[in-house]
A and B are shown apart, each in its own frame.
Chain A
């Protein structure tokens, strides 16, 4: 909502500076998101008098008009206007002036004669004037050189305020804002006029009293050709309205001034009495803006004896609106039930100014103020010739009470305000206090309980006036959640191993998600209203998202990829959504360029990462061959299943190069692990270091092609030799005898120094076991 400083000043007996106004508005909860000025562009538009008018020598439709300016200077302007005769006083915009439509004027050459700037019509200034010609002939007696900005009262400060939904329910009105400012500033209000005395002429019938508790109609006779008062036009222009017709201008003015939207019907188009009723199925209405809508039973309409005139509280019909030749209007002043209007305007997508007032909440008492204000504005320029008969159907809704206890407000706000101070605050904010209750002002649709009263007391005093404290009595030992702490340890472990964490969007493209489908989970959860097509499901796997990061980076930089994410993945389980935890790591395996050189990345970096991470986490984990075929997107000879707590929980391996190619990375290793939230690890129990020396034995073995290192390692482990602390491969090469593998066995005892006899015994047991695999010592 745009609030005009000057308009606020209409209601307050004294008006502070704009920065005070901003602070006041924000104290009340009206966030000021912008400030601007209206009228300063008129600072160069000056009043001049025509001294002569002669035809243009070379153009029939143009005239040369000499005007006298402030100080007697004469300027010649070329104009095509049909008026501007000697003695007439006009508004002149010299070169450099910017008009409301955005044009900046300069010296123009019109058929060989230089014309500096323009003589203006009212429309070019954004106004309407009663004038018999194109140019605005000014009838005021201001001195020559008077600026247009000064006849409209000077520049006005505008505040763009954001209305929260609760405030929109009652504060879309300059008067209501002024009332609250008056309360917090202690500046008296300008009193409202007396209420309008409605007659009870048979002008209207209300069928649906629930949705329209008050319906007033006032007949007014108008003089065609009139315009709204200049100050009304100025305030309306300032807040962004066009000037249309005095009867329409007045409804706009009253809407912002009192928060009460009015509607003017052309009396000629209405077959009285008016009926306020639900729409009938199939009824149609052509709105003021020309669109044709189909109505249904839930819409409240204003009809006459034959047709629908308007969609109640939202927009009038085209056929019954006022036009230039309108001589009599029926002015509607109503109070509608807000939720019904809200639903209607949402359904028809018609957020008009009226709808945003009626659909959120208006003041029923404004129904009595509005006709008085409208009539006085129309009378000011003799547009109104007579107020005719009128009617008011319905009753003012009763006042509501809420329980009131100042002690409760003190407790909620944590302050020491005494009862008298709290009472005064609420009374200033418009409440009447009756024993243990507060009478809620009729326009305060937002107030439900003592909590709202507490808020108003807070707004009255200002929230920053509340002394702060820390709820130390509530402090206990803060706890973390084991499952999420585990995620954090995992993040630290993988990042510590040299991988950059990324955070990717959880929604993705079904095709990309399917590319890394392992068949381990159910269907995807679809987002029914995605922003983009490629974000229309919730991801079931992390890897697709990570590979998009690879693609994004590889298409911009030639750089090695070492990334991971610990995040959530989603899948359907019947009518439930399963949310699981996953770790995914991606490592590009192509050779590293650069100098000084670095160790080449290898898939063993990822298998090693898995072993390290599981040790760090204390997880019971192992790598093993896939049961059956592994996922088809993996390199069959360079991949393994990851097993956690005895269950297959992921995989590690190279992507098939043709999949990597899709991401601009031919050789790429991936590690994906879906881990349960309760896989809390074992704590290490490292014991004491042994005092005794270790003994290393290297065995050079000849191994058949079919025997993997893992099989040799398993065979040795199965022997369960207590003193064998460590087994590791140290060398491998191919010779004419086959493949040679050297393994290093490290022995150590906690009790004593091992002898050659001890070690030889163990080694011969190991060789015997390996013999079963066809593995022998190289001679």
Chain B
């Protein structure tokens, strides 16, 4: 150092430098090309070897200390500068996030797929038919002739094309599927689709969706029906759901069977929703009527079958816990947004 300046005071000056510029000045003054320590080192050659060694070691030590001090001070100042920048860049992280623009499938689409998935796992292939259907497929082939009291059960929409009707159920696909199989066994199909009836209230809409099921093979029995439907319903509604079967009537099945499940609201103890019975109906089914088998090209003496039809909305209402079916077809976007989770394959 100069004769009047000690290393300690240089290091203090570095440690208290308050700007990049001041620090740069100090760097030039002491360890820059023309800095004092650098100059002193250049002059070592003029000293005797003995002095050179002593002085050289001293200068190196000084240089090292100064460089370290400069580095430390630089780091401190860099950190402070970064802190200032970061502080100035802070955002209000409590603002609502920008949610990804991902569209949702309609809850009924998700519910239909969920049912299809269960049935595919049970070995049912998919089959389809037109929504504007012939009266033959919709009625006569299903053992519902004109003037049959059962036509009272389903108030139909007719169209201005003679002989056609908006299908009142997915059951015509039973006949179509049997025709397509041309006598081959087994027939094991499900048919999801839009159906129409002249009804409009909290539990009925004029356009709704059903899933039909049909199994035809040698030796198919009511026990197969109850076993399959119980397996399906437990997959859909959970393993703990209670089930029961009651005799009923559909023209295209004999015997006909309705399936009830325990009421989701009261778990079977009885409430207003289940009319204090503890049970709610989930689907209609039965052994395929021999006339229907014949109309599909199968011999009822050799094979038998079972069929069922289930309203997709009814399952959706139960799983989503809603009591007015019309809400599902109102397409209120704010309401549809509320069906974010569940109903697809993602709930168990």
A454 interfacial contact with B, CB 8 Å: yes
Give the interface segment out of A81-89, A301-309, A325-333, A407-415. A407-415
B66 interfacial contact with A, CB 8 Å: no
Identify which of residues 196-224 in chain B touch chain A, using a CB-to-CB cut-off of 8 Å. Answer: 198, 200, 206-207, 215, 217, 219-224
- Residues on B with C-beta less than 8 A from A102 are none
B65 interfacial contact with A, CB 8 Å: no
B72 to chain A, nearest CB (A): 41
Contact indicator per residue, chain B 121-132, by CB within 8 Å of chain A (1) or not (0): 111111110111
Give the interface segment out of B49-57, B74-82, B150-158. B150-158
- Residues on A with C-beta less than 8 A from B224 are 414, 469-471, 474
B271 to chain A, nearest CB (A): 14
Question: Judging by beta carbons under 8 Å apart, are A531 and B200 in contact?
Answer: yes
Known: A471-B228, A481-B126. A476 touches B186 (CB 8 A): yes
A314 to chain B, nearest CB (A): 16
Question: Judging by beta carbons under 8 Å apart, are B127 and A481 in contact?
Answer: yes
A504 interfacial contact with B, CB 8 Å: yes
Question: Judging by beta carbons under 8 Å apart, are B104 and A495 in contact?
Answer: yes
Chain A residue at smallest Cβ distance from B216: A474
Contact among B245, B304, B334 with A463 in the assembled complex (CB-CB below 8 Å): B245
Question: Judging by beta carbons under 8 Å apart, are A529 and B157 in contact?
Answer: yes
B205 to chain A, nearest CB (A): 8
A134 interfacial contact with B, CB 8 Å: no
Give the interface segment out of B2-10, B16-24, B31-39, B94-102. B94-102
A494 interfacial contact with B, CB 8 Å: yes
Question: Judging by beta carbons under 8 Å apart, are A470 and B231 in contact?
Answer: yes
Question: Judging by beta carbons under 8 Å apart, are A577 and B159 in contact?
Answer: yes
Known: A458-B247, A476-B123, A478-B124. A559 touches B334 (CB 8 A): yes
- Residues on B with C-beta less than 8 A from A495 are 102-105
B262 interfacial contact with A, CB 8 Å: no
Known: A339-B147, A412-B304. A475 touches B109 (CB 8 A): no
Give the interface segment out of B40-48, B160-168, B317-325. B160-168
- Residues on B with C-beta less than 8 A from A575 are 161-162
A404 interfacial contact with B, CB 8 Å: no
Range of interface residues on A (Cβ < 8 Å): 35 or more
Question: Judging by beta carbons under 8 Å apart, are A454 and B287 in contact?
Answer: yes
Identify which of residues 469-491 in chain A touch chain B, using a CB-to-CB cut-off of 8 Å. Answer: 469-471, 473-481, 484, 488, 491
Contact among B103, B122, B153, B251 with A500 in the assembled complex (CB-CB below 8 Å): B103
- Residues on A with C-beta less than 8 A from B207 are 505-507
Question: Judging by beta carbons under 8 Å apart, are B221 and A449 in contact?
Answer: no
A-B contact count (CB 8 A): 253
A671 to chain B, nearest CB (A): 14
A184 to chain B, nearest CB (A): 12
Question: Judging by beta carbons under 8 Å apart, are B106 and A577 in contact?
Answer: no
- Residues on B with C-beta less than 8 A from A315 are none
Q: How far, in angstroms, from A165 to B249 measured CA to CA in the complex?
A: 7
- Residues on A with C-beta less than 8 A from B108 are 503
- Residues on B with C-beta less than 8 A from A168 are 149
Chain A residue at smallest Cβ distance from B164: A577
Chain A residue at smallest Cβ distance from B217: A474
Contact among A26, A165, A454, A549 with B150 in the assembled complex (CB-CB below 8 Å): A165
B227 to chain A, nearest CB (A): 4
A453 to chain B, nearest CB (A): 10
A215 to chain B, nearest CB (A): 24
- Residues on B with C-beta less than 8 A from A538 are 132, 159, 166
Contact indicator per residue, chain A 524-568, by CB within 8 Å of chain B (1) or not (0): 011111110001001000000000010011001101011110001
Known: A451-B290, A463-B257, A526-B160. A164 touches B249 (CB 8 A): yes
A241 interfacial contact with B, CB 8 Å: no
Question: Judging by beta carbons under 8 Å apart, are B103 and A561 in contact?
Answer: no
Chain B residue at smallest Cβ distance from A502: B331
A572 interfacial contact with B, CB 8 Å: yes
Most interface-central of A480, A494, A561, A577 (chain B CB within 10 A)? A577
A771 interfacial contact with B, CB 8 Å: no
Question: Judging by beta carbons under 8 Å apart, are B222 and A458 in contact?
Answer: yes
- Residues on A with C-beta less than 8 A from B334 are 553, 556-557, 559
B113 interfacial contact with A, CB 8 Å: yes
Question: Judging by beta carbons under 8 Å apart, are A556 and B220 in contact?
Answer: no
Q: Main SS of chain A's interface residues?
A: mixed
Most interface-central of B147, B198, B221, B256 (chain A CB within 10 A)? B221
Q: Main SS of chain B's interface residues?
A: mixed
B255 interfacial contact with A, CB 8 Å: yes
- Residues on B with C-beta less than 8 A from A492 are 105
Question: Judging by beta carbons under 8 Å apart, are A552 and B332 in contact?
Answer: yes
Question: Judging by beta carbons under 8 Å apart, are B304 and A411 in contact?
Answer: yes
Q: How far, in angstroms, from A504 to B207 measured CA to CA in the complex?
A: 9
Question: Judging by beta carbons under 8 Å apart, are A491 and B287 in contact?
Answer: no
Question: Judging by beta carbons under 8 Å apart, are A466 and B102 in contact?
Answer: no
A447 to chain B, nearest CB (A): 10
- Residues on A with C-beta less than 8 A from B122 are 470, 475
- Residues on A with C-beta less than 8 A from B332 are 552-553, 556
For chain B, the count of residues having a C-beta within 8 Å of the partner chain is: 87
Question: Judging by beta carbons under 8 Å apart, are A463 and B220 in contact?
Answer: no
Contact among A414, A475, A481 with B188 in the assembled complex (CB-CB below 8 Å): A475
Known: A34-B275, A470-B228, A552-B331. A568 touches B131 (CB 8 A): yes
Question: Judging by beta carbons under 8 Å apart, are B200 and A528 in contact?
Answer: no
- Residues on B with C-beta less than 8 A from A468 are 223, 226-227, 230
- Residues on B with C-beta less than 8 A from A647 are none
Q: How far, in angstroms, from A476 to B185 measured CA to CA in the complex?
A: 10
- Residues on A with C-beta less than 8 A from B275 are 33-34
Question: Judging by beta carbons under 8 Å apart, are B206 and A501 in contact?
Answer: no
B336 interfacial contact with A, CB 8 Å: yes
- Residues on B with C-beta less than 8 A from A17 are none
Chain B residue at smallest Cβ distance from A523: B160
Known: A475-B188, A479-B126, A484-B126. A563 touches B153 (CB 8 A): no
Question: Judging by beta carbons under 8 Å apart, are B333 and A527 in contact?
Answer: no
Q: How far, in angstroms, from A570 to B166 measured CA to CA in the complex?
A: 11
A172 to chain B, nearest CB (A): 13
B169 interfacial contact with A, CB 8 Å: no
B276 interfacial contact with A, CB 8 Å: yes
Question: Judging by beta carbons under 8 Å apart, are A165 and B131 in contact?
Answer: no
A595 interfacial contact with B, CB 8 Å: yes
B194 interfacial contact with A, CB 8 Å: yes
Question: Judging by beta carbons under 8 Å apart, are B158 and A528 in contact?
Answer: yes
- Residues on A with C-beta less than 8 A from B29 are none
Known: A570-B132, A577-B159, A596-B95. A31 touches B113 (CB 8 A): no
A619 interfacial contact with B, CB 8 Å: no
Q: How far, in angstroms, from A564 to B102 measured CA to CA in the complex?
A: 13
- Residues on A with C-beta less than 8 A from B194 are 506, 568
Q: How far, in angstroms, from A505 to B328 measured CA to CA in the complex?
A: 11
Q: How far, in angstroms, from A503 to B100 measured CA to CA in the complex?
A: 23
Question: Judging by beta carbons under 8 Å apart, are B287 and A451 in contact?
Answer: yes
Q: How far, in angstroms, from A573 to B109 measured CA to CA in the complex?
A: 30
Q: How far, in angstroms, from A164 to B246 measured CA to CA in the complex?
A: 12
Question: Judging by beta carbons under 8 Å apart, are A166 and B222 in contact?
Answer: no
Q: How far, in angstroms, from A499 to B251 measured CA to CA in the complex?
A: 42
B76 to chain A, nearest CB (A): 35
Q: How far, in angstroms, from A167 to B246 measured CA to CA in the complex?
A: 13
A74 interfacial contact with B, CB 8 Å: no
Contact among A498, A505, A525, A595 with B102 in the assembled complex (CB-CB below 8 Å): A498
Question: Judging by beta carbons under 8 Å apart, are A577 and B132 in contact?
Answer: yes
A283 interfacial contact with B, CB 8 Å: no
Question: Judging by beta carbons under 8 Å apart, are A488 and B113 in contact?
Answer: yes
- Residues on A with C-beta less than 8 A from B215 are 471, 474
Chain B residue at smallest Cβ distance from A570: B132
- Residues on B with C-beta less than 8 A from A459 are 247, 255
Q: How far, in angstroms, from A559 to B222 measured CA to CA in the complex?
A: 52
**Top 7 A-B residue pairs of the complex, sorted by shortest distance between their CB atoms:** A414-B221, A414-B223, A29-B247, A498-B101, A164-B249, A455-B255, A468-B227
Complex A-B: 19 CB contacts under 8 Å = A22-B277, A26-B246, A29-B246, A165-B249, A459-B247, A466-B226, A467-B223, A477-B123, A495-B105, A496-B102, A498-B103, A500-B103, A500-B104, A501-B103, A530-B157, A562-B103, A568-B194, A572-B161, A577-B161
